[in-house]
Structure 1
């Protein structure tokens, strides 16, 4: 399972000139552990955690801007990073949340809660969600075989054409916990293709 499967989005972020009081309000209102600090190009330049905000308030810098309170450098992860790697980093470095960047641009946040939810999604739950999604898409009259192993979803069934195979693949990728997706068109496979 990869970070893209469990990360939270859209992301609430702040800029270095954001007042600390506004950052505190965002942290407490939304229940976030930290907020990424981004520049004008949405690149992560810092992070302001609950601890950073409390430190700024205690030292009377609470009336200042986030730049004074934020922590740098920032550890970030990519959407393709394995969840197991993020769990290790979160535990080893006592991180409650990490910004997720693609090509240097902020695209999500992954928190300990997101990671816990990922572990709670077992293969049976993912399989049930795939069957439900396929039934909604094509009705229960279509015969699909679904197998989930190590977050890899394999679906076997007859597809009308290559476009339908791609649509089914894309739909399954929206399911939390679904990693790699393979759709095997049994009609074509049976025809020797």
Structure 2
């Protein structure tokens, strides 16, 4: 597992999370409450879905000025809507708990590698990362890449 874990608070705003994600080398954050308990998970996909509208894709670079490093997100927007900017601004101010996935699958530090691999390869759930919790608090995270490295190292 990777530790310490970068998390976002359930009350963090979408625009703040987007900014942090643009600077990160991963694609999502566990969401925690005031007691550092995992209450959700938010991914790039969740954030892109928030801005999705009807029939056109507009590619928007997201980053921090001077935009030396940006990520490009595709937002599906209807160009005949006059209030696109207003909708995007409203969405950016939402707290992350309004869009996060709340049905989070977690493991403990003692979970067997085989079980971790089963969870990370479940086609229905499409899980890329598993928060590791102990006494209801996050202590690490295991990604698909972590599991593959562990399999390689144990071979």
TM-score by length of structure 1 reads 0.57
Alpha-carbon offset, residue 16 of structure 1: 1.4
> Given that residues 55 and 69 in structure 1 are in contact (C-alpha distance below 8 angstroms), is that contact kept between their aligned partners in structure 2?
no
Give the alignment partner of residue 20 of structure 2, picking from 26, 29, 42: 26
Is residue 64 from structure 1 mapped to residue 58 from structure 2 by the alignment? no
In the other structure, the counterpart of 2:142 is 110
Number of aligned pairs? 117
Deviating beyond 3 angstroms after TM superposition, the runs of 4 or more aligned structure 1 residues are none
Partner of 1:58: helix, strand, or coil? coil
Higher helix share: 1
Structure of higher RCO (CA pairs closer than 8 Å, 6+ residues apart): 2
Aligned-partner Cα distance in 1 for 2:112–2:20: 29
* Cα distance in 2, alignment partners of residues 118 and 28 from structure 1: 28
1:101 pairs with 2:133: yes
Normalised by the length of structure 2, the TM-score is 0.70
Give unpaired runs (5+ residues) of structure 2.
54-87
CA distance in 1, matches of 2:111, 2:140: 13
Separation in 2, partners of 1:84, 1:24: 33
Structure 1 vs Structure 2 CA RMSD: 1.5
Partner of 1:79: 109
Q: Which has the higher strand share?
A: 2
Max Rg structure: 1
Secondary structure of the residue aligned to 1:107 is strand
